[in-house]
Amino acid sequence: MYGLPVPYSKYKEWEDGTGRSFPLGVYGDVFCLFNGREGKWVIVGKKIRASNYDSPILIPELTESEELEIKELVKKHFYFDGKFHYYFIIE
């Protein structure tokens, strides 16, 4: 997953400010995942497919334009901005 970690206080502020519940799972082209002990963080971004047929697992790197597109989607839907990272997630 390529996304932005958002602390509890920020997504709670988003919920209070918009009057909407923060979505978990797929939200249009954006994916939202609670992470960390007791759900203290949400990672907001986009899932990318890793190849697990080989060892080690290969995670594709996105192009700059793909990374920018994900950042713009997160900003458009949730108004969050910051330092994005690659995350390994298991569902």
> What is the pLDDT at residue 82?
94
What are the pLDDT digits (tens) for 19-41?
Answer: 888 887 888 888 888 776 666 78
Are 11 and 42 contacting, i.e. CB atoms less than 8 angstroms apart? yes
- Residue 48's contacts (CB-CB under 8 Å, 6 or more residues apart) are 1, 2, 59, 60, 62
Q: Which of 9-13, 70-74, 78-82 has the lowest mean pLDDT?
A: 9-13
What are the pLDDT digits (tens) for 62-73?
Answer: 999 999 999 999
Task: Please state, in angstroms and rounded to a whole number, the distance separating the CA atoms of residues 91 and 81.
Answer: 25
What are the pLDDT digits (tens) for 47-57?
Answer: 887 766 666 77
Strands of the sheet with 30-35, listed across from one edge: 25-27, 30-35, 41-46, 2-7, 85-86
CB-based burial label for 4 (10 Å; 0-12, 13-18, 19+):
buried
> What is the pLDDT at residue 91?
62
> What is the pLDDT at residue 55?
65
> What is the pLDDT at residue 45?
93
